[in-house]
Amino acid sequence: MPIDSSRLPPLVVVTGGNGFIGSHIVEALVAAGTPVRIVDRSAAWPGAGALPAGVELLVGDLTEPAVARAAVEGAGAICHQAARVGLGVDFGDAPGYVADNDTGTVQLLDALWRSRFRGRFVLAGSMVVYGEGRYRCSRHATVVAGPRLPADLARGQFDPRCPVPACTELLRWETVGEDAPLDPRNVYAATKLHQEHLCHVWGAEAQATVLSLRYHNVYGPRLPRDTPYAGVAALFRSALLAGRPPTVFEDGDQARDFVHVRDVARANLAALAAVDPKPGAYNVASGTPHTVGDLARMLADAIDPALAPVISGRWRLGDVRHIVASAVRAEQELGFRAGISFEDGVRELAADHLHAS
């Protein structure tokens, strides 16, 4: 559904606007004729391009109250993308995640409260708040999958089993709706859920509409190269560009929803422009699942077909087996439907060598 740009606010503040996702949101807003203020720790626009003309840039750290106050001055809406992302290395990363995601968010909300802001607040949420996805047992219907057992993983049995006592049936995945139980399983996930809670508490008291867009696996141009905080698409592409085959954990059949970054940007504009949307969470996803192995094979075919993926069988106890989104609510409430196919998006990512470093 086309977005009515006339309904976009007169000034949108995009925190983290020089980042991977934020920069695409900024470009989409500029293309729609909407004034934008970026708030970012970095002054550098990502990749080889330049900051779009007419965009205001405020360089600073949102954990500092003065920066947060300057960020929201005159704002018509907030698009809060600034966050420390990825799973990190270990629990030693926890203070950084809490500072960036919790403290940065609460300082922003405090500045909005003090300025009596009543506009639209769109939060970059994440599917990591769900933990393991949704599953069905043929005997016991929809069930909550418990932790996978090391003994099962060690013998290559990667799908979770039914948690009902005496039932050992392997479960089949189902799509995850926004009403699914929340089960953050790492520090990053815990902070993303806390961001949602903080924002919704503020929204209720401030009488402002808060929409949390729970992004699923985002990929596309300007994807950062592999770091301990990168996603699987970045890891696979970086290996291929270095002349190494991508290494796939488990059996490669982990189901995910890979959504293109320009579709994510459109979802943010849809959330900003929607007429009286219900406050709360919305999955932002393509609606079409693929496996991790599919991604590795398609990237290898596009970059160097001689570097076939290695299915390693390796596993990590805390990894999620399957998580596939229901994209229905975002379409019904926000008018958003993803438009870029997995095949086209992966080919574009493979060709985006310019931003590989």
CA–CA gap between residue 5 and residue 8 (Å, rounded): 5
pLDDT at 295 over 90: yes
198-203: average pLDDT: 98
5-29: average pLDDT: 95
pLDDT at 311 over 70: yes
Q: What percent of the chain has pLDDT over 70?
A: 96
The predicted pLDDT at position 230 comes to: 61
Stronger pLDDT, 356 or 288, i.e. the higher one: 288
Residue 125 β-bridge partners:
214
CA–CA gap between residue 302 and residue 353 (Å, rounded): 12
pLDDT at 151 over 60: yes
Lowest mean pLDDT: which of 122-126, 161-165, 270-274? Answer: 161-165
pLDDT at 39 over 60: yes
Residue 46 β-bridge partners:
none
Lowest mean pLDDT: which of 94-103, 135-144, 219-228, 254-263? Answer: 219-228
Q: Residues 110, 68: contact at Cβ < 8 Å?
A: yes
**pLDDT 10s digits, 318-343:** 788 999 999 999 999 999 999 999 99
pLDDT at 356 over 50: no
The predicted pLDDT at position 226 comes to: 65
Check residue 238 and report its DSSP letter. H
> Which residues does 302 contact at the CB level (< 8 Å), separation at least 6?
346, 347, 350, 351
**pLDDT 10s digits, 164-176:** 999 989 999 999 9
pTM, two decimals, is: 0.94
The predicted pLDDT at position 85 comes to: 82
Provide the CA 46 distance to its chain's centre, in angstroms.
18
CA–CA gap between residue 230 and residue 290 (Å, rounded): 19
- Computed from CA positions of residues 251, 134, 265, 329, in that sequence, does the dihedral angle turn out positive or negative? positive
Q: How is residue 142 written in tokens?
A: 């929809």
306-318: average pLDDT: 93
Task: Label the pairing between strands 141-143 and 134-137.
Answer: antiparallel
The predicted pLDDT at position 357 comes to: 41
Q: Residues 122, 77: contact at Cβ < 8 Å?
A: yes
pLDDT at 355 over 60: no
Q: What percent of the chain has pLDDT over 90?
A: 81
The predicted pLDDT at position 88 comes to: 67
Q: pLDDT tier at 354 (50, 70, 90 boundaries)?
A: very low
**pLDDT 10s digits, 65-105:** 999 999 999 999 999 999 988 766 678 888 888 888 999 99
